[in-house]
A and B are shown apart, each in its own frame.
Chain A
Amino acid sequence: MYAQALNVAEKAHADDPELRARFQRRVDAEEKIEPNDWMPEGYRRTLVRQISQHAHSEIVGMLPEGNWITRAPSLKRKAALLAKVQDEGGHGLYLYSAAETLGVSREELVEQLLTGKAKYSSIFNYPTPSWADIGMIGWLVDGAAIMNQIPLCRCSYGPYARAMIRVCKEESFHQRQGFEIVMTLAKGSPAQKTMAQQALNRWWWPALMMFGPSDRDSQHSDQNMAWKIKRFSNDDLRQKFIDATVPQGHFLGLTFPDPELRFNEATGHWEHGPIDWSEFNRVVRGEGPCNRERLKARQKAHAEGAWVREAALAHAEKRAARKAAAKIAAE
């Protein structure tokens, strides 16, 4: 996005205090920072990391759901799931483009994913053993993603903010689609209701972990807040998600797998029990139930897609050569 090929980012005066102060004034004034504007190296690095991780998450996120496309219970649900997975591919592409405006190539980013150097959202390392899991991904995982992404529409970096506006519009279809799946099961036969409940038990805690470590332990928060890359803390967003989601679950007659979950009349918030951060750290380290499988699936897809990229390039070359030959003949 935004003709990033034009100007090479100036690496000179990398962290000049004067430029830094001017940059911070622009951010404070809610001006958008654009690709060719001066920015501190740390800001650029943070954004490349965050946007590319976000892109990788969209791409890897296609896998747990792709698992159910051929087994969706009806043609309508199959078409909707296919569209949703296609959207995720699209979201990955918008985000890779936004990351590329910061001076990294698509190739480098893809390589970081395939070699396991880059991280992606740990939620996608959980399996989807039943159809109800597809409902939970839409309702909870996309619901949590929306909470995270709506403030990103106001991120100080222009291309990222613009990409997020598009993504958010499409995510609301995803969440409703998921909720409807869960609702249908929750109102169905006792066996279907059990299936929904079991899936909620599987996904609730991992969904809460999507917001990242507690504010007490989060490493990057303060600087990212000052740079307006981040607008709300992890715990604030998590609380917002819980407050929005718990009544929806109760409406469906489902219970949350947290014995300490209770409504605090005084604060108006739902309070939750302690999150098992050792599980989160394990999954982030690569020891989740599906980390290896996901990475292998991406590597396989990339390797098996190589001929398509090669054929597209060969086709373009052939067409260009024909065009050139026709031009010579006409002269």
Chain B
Amino acid sequence: MTEKSGTEKTMPLWEVFIRSRTGLSHRHCGSLHAPDAEMALQAARDVYTRRGEGLSIWVVPSSAITASDPQDKDALFEPTASKIYRHPTFYEVPEEVGHM
């Protein structure tokens, strides 16, 4: 093997997001290693859009993403569980009023 340097050091990791033809927002679909953004786009096209999966690709350096800490999960997301009044199903609409 002639390769000397690790991919971690030299080929950064990129997260790939694709917007499907349905017009929804870009969605994370996977990741890949590439030397720079342009080559990451090229590789993302080859690896993740072989069957008309999308009309637009974003690649983002993985190191640029700030993620919530899994330890904080309860503190962050648990409070919404008790706020059922935020859901439309909480409210009753008289039958005579019809669909709302």
Contacts and interface: CB of A to CB of B under 8 A. Distances in A.
Nearest to A35: B70
Contact of A320 (B11, B36, B47, B48): B36
A319 B32 CA distance: 20
A90 B63 contact: no
Nearest to B6: A107
Contacts of A320: 36
Q: Say what secondary structure dominates the interface of chain B.
A: mixed
B: contact size bracket: 20 to 34
B67 A97 contact: no
B63 A6 contact: yes
B13 A4 contact: yes
A312 B34 CA distance: 8
A90 B50 contact: yes
A235 interface: no
A19 to B, nearest CB: 12
Contact of A5 (B30, B35, B39, B62): B62
B6 A315 contact: no
B31 A111 contact: no
A313 B3 CA distance: 12
Contact of B70 (A37, A86, A90, A306): A37
Contacts of A316: 35-36, 39
Interface of A: 1-7, 34, 36-38, 83, 86-87, 90, 93-94, 97, 100, 105-107, 111, 114, 162-163, 166, 170, 299, 302-303, 306, 309, 312-313, 315-317, 319-320
7 contacts: A1-B30, A107-B3, A114-B1, A302-B3, A306-B1, A306-B2, A312-B39
